[in-house]
Amino acid sequence: MSESTHRRRVETAPGVELDVLDSGPGPERTVVLLHGFPETSHSWRHQIEPLVDAGLRVIVPDQRGYGDSSRPNDTSHYRADHLTRDIAALLDDAEVESAIIVGHDWGSIVAWHMAQLHPERCASVIAASVPWTPWPMAPTELLRAVHGDDFFYILHFQQPRLAEAEMHRDVRRFLLSIIWAAAAESHPTRDGSPLPASGTTVTEAFEHQSGGRRTSPPPWLSEADLQVYVSQFERSGFNGPVDWYRNFDPNHDLTAPLGASPITMPTFFVAGSLDPVIHGRDDYLARMDSDLADHRATVLIPGAGHWVQQEAPGEFNRALLDFISRSV
């Protein structure tokens, strides 16, 4: 990590403070890196120094509900308007009018919502793993129609405080289960057979998906880095992160009327070729070219899975810096 990196707290709303890593020069060219689930700012550890070396200021928050950032109790406080106002407030604090917004997983969803709700603050948008997704109806309604009575984690997360308790029972086991389930290493053994909705925990579901229980991390994640995540989630719990999922339908109600029309800034998408989020969803990848006004490129990194910026940091950083150099 860059020697210029320092950690500070920024108040983004009344009673809400985010823990933020801030690095490099600025503020003329600023990048904001938004993590996903179950990640924190630590997931961007391979990107900060290369971006700073390229002359960029880099702002990396632990988003609300994560790490040592504030954890509001009200589920509605994790709706897209609150999450995006946090990012706008970080830019205000940094005295930056607009920034390159980069997101991974749920961070990508926040980045897309930033482009809809605060387009003037987005110099460009770079999404990793989760493409622009225009839901044709309320997301949970569609997911229930697709999955029926079979277990699906997003629907499981809608039940009040059930999944959080399952995860917190053994934080390390849960993190290993989801990391392995979406990593490239599980691609040959990934089990797509359905699970019954009743009696399955979220940890067991991800272990089923990855071919069994794992006791150590994949080769691209050190034991020390895994322990950083374990310690962070043992402190913070999972209530806030799972509340993000309980806002899929409210987010749809909020942003569906806007559609892609505000997203006129340059956009870029990058993912691992073995990412289960995009597997079988070529239509969603193609829609970015047709729906988005200035979609510059979609890059799939061969052999990488869902945790693309951690699994293949060299290839990811080259794609990221190439896009930034050509679009800013």
Query: Which positions are catalytic?
Result: 105, 306
From CA 237, how far away is CA 40, in angstroms rounded? 13
Burial of residue 131, with CB atoms counted within 10 A of its CB: 0-12 exposed, 13-18 middle, 19 or more buried? buried
The residue count of the chain comes to 328
Q: What's the count of helices (H) and strands (E) in the chain, helices before strands? A: 14, 8
From CA 229, how far away is CA 238, in angstroms rounded? 12
Residue 203: C-alpha distances to residues 39, 66, 328 (Å): 16, 19, 42
Cβ-based neighbour number of residue 110 at 10 Å: 27
Cβ-based neighbour number of residue 93 at 10 Å: 16
> End-to-end distance of the chain based on CA atoms, in angstroms?
24
Instruction: Name residues whose C-beta falls within 8 Å of residue 239's C-beta, 6 or more positions apart in sequence.
Output: 65, 71, 73, 161, 164
From CA 71, how far away is CA 236, in angstroms rounded? 8
Cβ-based neighbour number of residue 228 at 10 Å: 15
107 and 35 in contact (C-beta within 8 Å)?
A: yes
Residue 245, SS3 per DSSP: helix
